[in-house]
């Protein structure tokens, strides 16, 4: 006879936090959200910690190099998606790792034979007013000059005017060589009253721009997640098929941590992948595994050598695994069960294996609930897909902007490796959908707003760090009626002139 769990499977939306005593020190600005990313022994520090408890999902529609840079700037880490060729993923990791804070690759470039119309089109498309003029029109071609909004007047010039006729030529520019430090570059900008400074190599090829406005931006990001060489930390996804080739390529590319991307992690395939990595690299390569939804699954992956364990099956907004296969578990119940197993494992072995909650986050307060239930950090897909930095297109539908968002189990992604059970190398049926999510703007603004809510709630519970939060949090199940009571009800809400409520 089948085994039946006695407890009902619950989601985050069925829980609320009960406030605890808050001292005068419990202010949001005093809250620390630092959390371990990988396992560590009692009395030791983890090799990698996050400054905020957020990671981005291993998905084509979420984790590209732009989002990796933006999230690391805020203190979290992205896992570059693995459902692409090994070379493409490795190059994406390289580009994110080689990004130098304050040194910006030019995304607006023309040849001197371009026209004013080309400049206007570039500005409309990128939003950037500084355009590099290079010999071949590429971001790294030989620098011939630049065009800024001070170099032309649309109302007084013919759109067919050649760029070479109104650009600021190289001999009138202040430039710097590629060995210039960020401090030296900012000093040059200040001393020469510049808005931007081109950085060129010894052959005169454009490498980067340093912008005056980015100095303030750099100072505004105290949580940047950096390695020993002051490069952003970057993660990468792997599968259980080509790991013998993919893992070395990603390590060579500079990936700081890996994660096995699979819909279900309680399998011999994940054990084999972890064994290969441990036999080849020992503990020097950090790798997470999953996904699981109970104690057995956690213990299996922890004993197999996982540096962290992901929890969640079927709870993602684009995931239809529960609908198509009938497997999974309510995310809150799964997380509570696995975190209890983690704590028990730590007491018995002295090894702390962090738990990542993956899926089921719909509202910001769900983040807080997941952390209270024991998650060390969260992995988010839909949340990050809405932002400027995600790799998908922004489109207008009915006067509103949306971003494309699709699951790895959809026909669009066709990531058969994620659902691999050792059979044919193809996706037999969909376990994800193709969709849109409302466009939400920049990652920075949204992440800071979300985490301000988390910090505020932690203060309501009398906690100033995540470890204390887990020990002090008091959770209560809520009825369907009390969920309704929790929102605005029995009133007619006003519509403002801006169309918001």
List, for residues 161-211, the tens digit of each pLDDT value: 999 999 999 999 999 999 998 889 989 998 999 989 999 999 999 999 998
- Which residue, 410, 340, 423, is CA-closest to 374? 340
Contact criterion met (CB below 8 Å) for 433 and 410 = yes
- Which residue, 325, 352, 333, is CA-closest to 292? 333
Q: What is the DSSP letter of 494?
A: P
Q: Name the catalytic one among 339, 418, 459, 461.
A: 418
Give the max Cα distance, the chain: 84
Tens digit of pLDDT for each residue in 229-244? 878 999 999 999 999 9
pLDDT value at residue 91: 95
- Which residue, 316, 314, 300, 315, is CA-closest to 353? 300
Question: In the predicted model, what is the mean pLDDT of the chain?
Answer: 91
Tens digit of pLDDT for each residue in 444-475? 999 999 999 999 999 999 999 999 999 999 99
Q: Tokens 């950096």 sit at which residue?
A: 226
Q: Name the catalytic one among 319, 356, 459, 461.
A: 319
Measured CA to CA, the distance from residue 93 to residue 309 in angstroms comes to: 22
Measured CA to CA, the distance from residue 96 to residue 473 in angstroms comes to: 37
- Beta strand pairing status for 206-211 and 196-200? antiparallel
Which residues lie below 8 Å from residue 193, measured CB to CB, with a gap of 6+? none
Q: Tokens 């203190």 sit at which residue?
A: 75
Told to judge if 418 belongs to the known catalytic residues of this protein, a careful annotator would answer: yes
Q: What is the CA radius of gyration of the chain?
A: 25
The answer, yes or no, to whether residue 414 has pLDDT greater than 70, is no
pTM: 0.81
What do you get for the CA distance between the two ends of the chain, in Å?
Answer: 53
- Which residue, 70, 335, 366, is CA-closest to 217? 70
Q: How confident is the model at residue 486 (pLDDT cuts 50, 70, 90)?
A: confident
How many Cβ atoms are within 10 Å of 396's Cβ, its own excluded?
9
The answer, yes or no, to whether residue 215 has pLDDT greater than 80, is no
Q: What does the angle CA 20 – CA 26 – CA 31 come to, to the nearest 5 degrees?
A: 110
Measured CA to CA, the distance from residue 208 to residue 99 in angstroms comes to: 10
Told to judge if 459 belongs to the known catalytic residues of this protein, a careful annotator would answer: no
The answer, yes or no, to whether residue 35 has pLDDT greater than 60, is yes
The answer, yes or no, to whether residue 362 has pLDDT greater than 70, is yes
Which residues lie below 8 Å from residue 452, measured CB to CB, with a gap of 6+? 28
Tokens linked to 230: 């002051």
């Amino acid at each position: 006879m089948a085994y039946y769990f006695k407890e009902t499977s619950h989601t985050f939306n069925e829980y609320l936090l009960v406030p605890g005593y808050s001292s005068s020190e419990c202010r949001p600005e005093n809250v620390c959200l630092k959390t371990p990313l990988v396992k560590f022994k009692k009395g030791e520090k983890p090799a990698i910690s996050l400054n905020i408890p957020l990671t981005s999902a291993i998905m084509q529609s979420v984790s590209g190099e732009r989002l990796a840079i933006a999230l690391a700037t805020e203190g979290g880490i992205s896992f570059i998606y693995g459902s692409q060729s090994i070379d493409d993923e490795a190059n994406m990791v390289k580009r994110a790792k080689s990004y130098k804070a304050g040194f910006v690759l030019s995304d607006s470039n023309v040849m001197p034979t371009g026209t004013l119309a080309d400049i206007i089109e570039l500005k409309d498309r990128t939003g950037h007013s500084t355009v590099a003029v290079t010999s071949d029109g590429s971001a790294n071609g030989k620098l011939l000059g630049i065009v800024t909004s001070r170099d032309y007047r649309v109302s007084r010039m013919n759109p067919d005017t050649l760029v070479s006729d109104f650009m600021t030529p190289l001999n009138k520019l202040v430039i710097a060589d590629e060995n210039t430090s960020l401090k030296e570059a900012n000093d040059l900008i200040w001393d020469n009253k510049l808005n931007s400074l081109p950085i060129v190599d010894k052959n005169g090829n454009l490498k980067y721009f340093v912008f005056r406005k980015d100095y303030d931006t750099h100072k505004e990001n105290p949580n940047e997640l950096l390695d020993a060489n002051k490069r952003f930390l970057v993660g990468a996804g792997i599968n259980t098929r080509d790991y013998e080739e993919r893992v070395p390529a990603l390590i060579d590319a500079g990936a700081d941590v890996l994660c096995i991307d699979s819909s279900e992690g309680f399998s011999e395939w994940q054990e084999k992948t972890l064994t290969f990595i441990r036999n080849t690299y020992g503990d020097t390569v950090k790798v997470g595994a999953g996904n699981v939804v109970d104690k057995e699954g956690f213990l299996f992956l922890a004993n197999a050598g996982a540096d962290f364990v992901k929890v969640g099956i079927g709870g993602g907004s684009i995931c239809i695994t529960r609908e198509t296969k009938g497997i999974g578990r309510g995310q809150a119940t799964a997380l509570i069960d696995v975190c209890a197993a983690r704590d028990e494992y730590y007491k018995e072995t002295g090894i702390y294996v962090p738990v990542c909650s993956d899926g089921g986050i719909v509202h910001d307060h769900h983040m807080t609930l997941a952390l209270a239930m024991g998650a060390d950090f969260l992995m988010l897909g839909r949340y990050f897909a809405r932002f400027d930095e995600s790799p998908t297109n922004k489109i207008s539908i009915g006067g509103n902007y949306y971003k494309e968002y699709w699951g790895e189990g959809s026909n669009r992604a066709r990531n058969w490796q994620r659902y691999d059970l050792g059979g044919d190398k193809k996706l037999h049926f969909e376990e994800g959908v193709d969709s849109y999510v409302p466009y939400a703007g920049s990652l920075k603004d949204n992440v800071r707003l979300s985490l301000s809510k988390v910090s505020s709630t932690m203060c309501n519970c009398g906690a100033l760090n995540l470890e204390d939060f887990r020990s002090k949090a008091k959770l209560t199940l809520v009825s369907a009626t009390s969920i309704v009571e929790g929102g605005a009800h029995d009133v007619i809400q006003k519509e403002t002139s801006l169309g918001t409520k």
